[in-house]
Each structure stands twice: as C-alpha cells, then as structure tokens.
A and B are shown apart, each in its own frame.
Chain A
Amino acid sequence: NAGVTQTPKFQVLKTGQSMTLQCAQDMNHEYMSWYRQDPGMGLRLIHYSVGAGITDQGEVPNGYNVSRSTTEDFPLRLLSAAPSQTSVYFCASSFSANFYQETQYFGPGTRLLVL
C-alpha cells in the first residue's frame, strides 16, 4: 500500500491563480479530510468527507472547494489563490470518523506559497 499520497509537494502561485491539490489513498478508507498547518496554529480542518459523494465544511472552509467522486480521491481546489492561503496542506484518511478505533493516516503534505 502507498498509503496517503499528495501532489504536488511544493507549489508557488500568484494571487488570483487557481489550482488543485491532489490527495489519494489506497486503503479503501471512507473518511478523508484536508487540514492546513500554520505556525503557532496547529492543524485546522478545511473540509472533510465521510464517503464518496458526501462532503462537509470544517473550521476554515472559505476559499476552498472539494469533491469526492471516488473513495480513493479527495482533491482540494483553490479557485482564486490569496496570500493568506500560504500554508502547508495535509490530507488524511481513516476507515471511519471513530478516531479511537480507527487510526487517521496523514499524507506528507503540500507546501503552498501564494505571492
């Protein structure tokens, strides 16, 4: 198993550009989520999905869109990048949202710089 994979590893955007951060898992996990990590802020939940076709907002969803057309993939879209979206983005997955029973696995992260 490759686990949770994220592409790209690094990206530089100009303000106003759009892009998609890719996330894929090969563990047949139903629950997938996106977090952003900023210095001194910990990890903040952007969007999450409990299964294909189902998505919901997390703590900081503004400026981001997601879709879940397959169990394996959960892309994160920035429609019009802003400097405030400069961050490290982590995708994570688990069998369910019962985090005591089911370990949540994180990808290696995507570092995004918006100029």
Chain B
Amino acid sequence: GQQLNQSPQSMFIQEGEDVSMNCTSSSIFNTWLWYKQDPGEGPVLLIALYKAGELTSNGRLTAQFGITRKDSFLNISASIPSDVGIYFCAGQGAQKLVFGQGTRLTINP
C-alpha cells in the first residue's frame, strides 16, 4: 500500500530555534496535509496544500508541496513551548488519507 516516510522521527531543540521536518512518498498525492497532535488528544489540522510547488504559511508555520507531488516539508520558526507534540504529514488518496509515522518535537526551555 501507499506509505509516507517522515523524518526525523524525533527532534530535541532549544526554545527559539527553527524546526524543519519533511515527508516523502513513492506515490503521487494531489493533496498534502500537516497535523499536530498534543499529548492525550487527537490530531488537529495545521496546513493543507493542493498545488505542486505551493508554499503556504500559517503564523510561524510554513509548508511546501513538492514539485514532483511526492514530498512536502514543514518549517516552524522561533519555536515556543506550546509547539511540543507530534507532527504528522498526510497525503490524500482515493477517499482516504495516508499518514506518515510522525515527528515528535521536544523543546528545552
């Protein structure tokens, strides 16, 4: 089946640092999504990308949809303690989403 490879699996950073994570696939997706999961809760949508090459920002978050439609990255600038959590990429297939394994972000104050 379709698989998304997300990296890195975990990150330990200092507050104020910038963060970058990416997601690659062997298959083409027409929509890429990025979610964040806080401890003990369900994922929440951060950014949705529809066009190849699209660059979208949401506050301190910036995400890009790769030209080949097989990859995407998410950047977080000037990290703050509430950015802690697990970040998931997801690609849309036929009537369903395929998720990456997640990137666990830990921030040292």
A-B contact count (CB 8 A): 62
Which of chain A's residues have a CB closer than 8 A to the CB of B92?
97, 99-100
- Which chain A residue lies CB-closest to B32? A100
A90 touches B42 (CB 8 A): yes
Kindly supply a per-residue 1/0 record for chain B positions 65-109, scoring 1 wherever the CB is within 8 Å of any chain A CB and 0 otherwise. Answer: 000000000000000000000001010100111111110000000
Whether B99 pairs with A104 at a CB distance below 8 angstroms is: no
B59 located at the interface, meaning its Cβ lies under 8 Å from any Cβ of chain A in the complex: no
Q: Tell me the count of chain A residues lying within 8 A, CB to CB, of chain B.
A: 26
Known interface pairs A40-B101, A42-B101, A100-B48; A48-B42 also in contact (CB < 8 Å): no
B45 at the interface (CB under 8 A from A): yes
Is B64 interfacial (CB-CB < 8 Å)? no
The chain B residue sitting closest to A111, CB to CB, is B40
Interface positions of B (Cβ within 8 A of A): 1, 4, 6, 9, 31, 33, 40-45, 48-50, 88, 90, 92, 95-102
A-side residues, CB < 8 A to B, are 4, 31, 33, 35, 40-45, 48, 50, 56, 58-59, 90, 92, 97, 99-100, 103-104, 106-109
